[in-house]
């Protein structure tokens, strides 16, 4: 028998794990309505034309070899320009590292920070990659409460209570995946203060930073001033290019406090060689080029979000807080142990009976995500209504 390591046996990623059940249902001839993956391209949105042309031009110029492991200089400079323009943050290109999407950034970062027994403080619920990668490296993901009734606002008192000698860092996801919560400057400042008080690294995941609906986004580094912060972002969401796998992280510090961490991450970056070179050059063009697709994109997302949340709140047994950012909703479902034993059972039974596929909430946190499910709000309104009609009928039959 081939021996498989223990660290991979328990790996879960609910967002894609649910596809296994959906594909089995699809094989039997049932149409599947996919509401599980946060990929704008899958729902009719497309990468801006000038960005696609830039990729073509990069390949024609012969930029098809290996890139610098830290990332090509034009993209690192463009990230600095973007942060100055949007958040008033001064960065040096040497403090920016390009990764193959933010997923690789998470893997690099936690590989450098987490040893067996260490703890990482995460929002509950949270993007599941943080949970799984922490576990992969032998650490423990500790989730701090986010208060559903208050728009999924973080409970700072609960965050403080969960800091221990084993805590290595605090993660802030703003706007949040899966809840769509968007934190204001006051709330972000509270995170900064806690991190400074306990001398902990603050990790700010800002991949949805320009997909906000009712107020301007807040950059954590802008609020942090002289408190060290590591920020991650990328091309996937705002520039509608998830398949390009281009992300970045930057080290915001005033006196070189993160230099040791940066050096460690560069060592990891070198053994994976580099991120995609032509896509990096096109990403630099995207950051420096016209940004007029963003308000159009967000306005359409808001229309679809409103349609989704309205329908969800009209269905018996469901309730949904209005998301303020990103393109997800995180409805609560009345799991009573009779109709469904838990939220995972609800999601799997729903796709089997109706063909509508969501992601079970406990996949985003067994504590604060249970009895919920995540849906993307990306699909066209016609598709949303088709799925909601099926969901409504299903819930009424299960009463």
| CA dist list (Å): 69 to 62, 66, 157, 266 | 18, 8, 40, 7
* Alpha-carbon span 196 to 2, nearest angstrom: 47
* Alpha-carbon span 95 to 115, nearest angstrom: 25
Is the pLDDT confidence value at 236 over 80? yes
Kindly state the percentage of the chain with pLDDT values over 70. 100
Tokens of 11: 């790996």
* Alpha-carbon span 12 to 214, nearest angstrom: 34
Residue whose entry in the numeric block shows the structure tokens 């309730």: 319
Order of strands across the sheet that contains 328-329: 328-329, 373-376, 359-360
pLDDT tens string 161-184:
999 999 999 999 999 999 999 999
Residue whose entry in the numeric block shows the structure tokens 């690294």: 201
pLDDT tens string 114-162:
999 999 999 999 999 999 999 999 999 999 999 999 999 999 999 999 9
pLDDT tens string 315-330:
999 999 999 999 999 9
pLDDT bracket for residue 379 (50, 70, 90): very high
List, by residue range, all CATH 3.40.640.10 domains of the chain: 49-288
pLDDT tens string 5-56:
888 887 888 888 999 999 999 999 999 999 999 999 999 999 999 999 999 9
Is-contact 205 174, C-beta < 8 A? yes
Torsion sign over Cα 55, 57, 59, 65: negative
Nearest to 308 by CA among 387, 369, 229: 387
250: phi then psi, degrees, rounded to nearest 5: -135, 155
List, by residue range, all CATH 3.90.1150.10 domains of the chain: 6-46+293-397
Question: Phi-psi region for residue 177, left (φ > 0), alpha (ψ -120 to 50) or beta?
Answer: beta
pLDDT at 15: 87
pLDDT at 61: 97
* Alpha-carbon span 131 to 57, nearest angstrom: 39
Q: Going by DSSP bridges, is the β-strand pair 229-234/201-205 parallel, antiparallel, or unpaired?
A: parallel
Is-cis flag, bond preceding 307, omega within 30? no
In this prediction the pTM is: 0.95
* Alpha-carbon span 153 to 123, nearest angstrom: 10
5 CB neighbour count, 10 Å cutoff: 7
CA angle 181, 186, 187 (to 5 degrees): 40
Number of residues written out for the chain = 399
Of the given ranges (8-17, 82-91, 196-205, 346-355), which has the lowest mean pLDDT?
Answer: 8-17
Is-contact 194 159, C-beta < 8 A? yes
Tokens of 138: 């032998």
Q: Does domain 6-46+293-397 sit in CATH 3.40.50.280?
A: no
Strand runs labelled E in 125-163 = 140-147, 153-154
390: phi then psi, degrees, rounded to nearest 5: -65, -45
* Alpha-carbon span 356 to 79, nearest angstrom: 38
Look over the chain and give the mean of its residue pLDDT values, rounded to a whole number.
Answer: 96
* Alpha-carbon span 150 to 73, nearest angstrom: 43
Nearest to 200 by CA among 219, 176, 174, 172: 172
* Alpha-carbon span 105 to 139, nearest angstrom: 17
Torsion sign over Cα 23, 25, 29, 35: negative
Contacts of 30 (CB under 8 A, 6+ apart): 355
pLDDT tens string 264-292:
999 999 999 999 999 999 999 999 999 99
What topology is assigned to 49-288 in CATH?
Answer: 3.40.640
Contacts of 304 (CB under 8 A, 6+ apart): 327, 377, 378, 379, 380, 381, 384
Is the pLDDT confidence value at 1 over 80? no
């Amino acid at each position: 028998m081939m021996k498989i390591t223990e660290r991979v046996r328990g790996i879960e990623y609910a967002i894609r794990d649910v596809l296994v059940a959906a594909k089995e249902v699809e094989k039997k001839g049932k149409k599947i309505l996919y509401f599980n993956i946060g990929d704008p391209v899958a729902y009719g949105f497309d990468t801006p034309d000038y960005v696609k042309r830039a990729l073509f031009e990069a390949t024609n110029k012969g930029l098809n070899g290996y890139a610098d492991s830290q990332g090509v200089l034009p993209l690192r400079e463009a990230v600095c320009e973007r942060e100055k323009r949007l958040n008033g943050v001064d960065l040096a290109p040497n403090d920016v590292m390009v990764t193959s999407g933010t997923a690789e950034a998470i893997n690099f970062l936690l590989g450098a920070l987490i040893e067996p027994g260490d703890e990482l403080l995460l929002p509950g619920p949270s993007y599941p990659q943080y949970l799984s990668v922490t576990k992969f490296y032998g650490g423990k993901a500790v989730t701090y409460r986010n208060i559903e009734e208050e728009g999924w606002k973080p409970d700072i008192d609960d965050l403080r209570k969960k800091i221990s000698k084993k805590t290595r860092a605090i993660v802030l996801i703003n706007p949040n995946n899966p809840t769509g919560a968007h934190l204001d400057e006051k709330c972000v400042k509270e995170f900064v203060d806690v991190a400074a008080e306990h001398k902990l690294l603050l990790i700010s995941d800002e991949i949805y930073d320009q997909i906000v609906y009712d107020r301007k986004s807040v950059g954590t580094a802008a609020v942090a001033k002289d408190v060290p912060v590591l920020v991650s972002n990328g091309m996937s969401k705002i520039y509608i290019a998830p398949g390009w796998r281009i992300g970045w992280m930057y080290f915001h510090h005033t006196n070189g406090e993160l230099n040791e961490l940066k050096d460690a991450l560069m060592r990891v970056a070198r053994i994976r060689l580099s991120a995609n070179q032509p896509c990096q050059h096109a990403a630099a063009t995207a950051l420096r080029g016209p940004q007029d697709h963003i308000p159009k994109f967000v306005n359409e997302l808001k229309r679809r979000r409103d349609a989704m949340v309205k329908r969800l709140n009209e269905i018996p047994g469901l309730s949904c807080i209005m998301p303020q950012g990103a393109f997800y909703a995180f409805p609560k479902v009345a799991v009573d142990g009779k109709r469904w034993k838990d939220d995972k059972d609800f999601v799997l039974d729903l796709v089997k009976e109706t063909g509508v596929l969501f992601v079970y909430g406990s996949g985003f946190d067994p504590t604060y995500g249970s009895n919920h499910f995540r849906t993307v709000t990306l699909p066209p309104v016609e598709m949303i209504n088709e799925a909601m009609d099926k969901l409504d009928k299903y819930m009424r039959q299960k009463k």
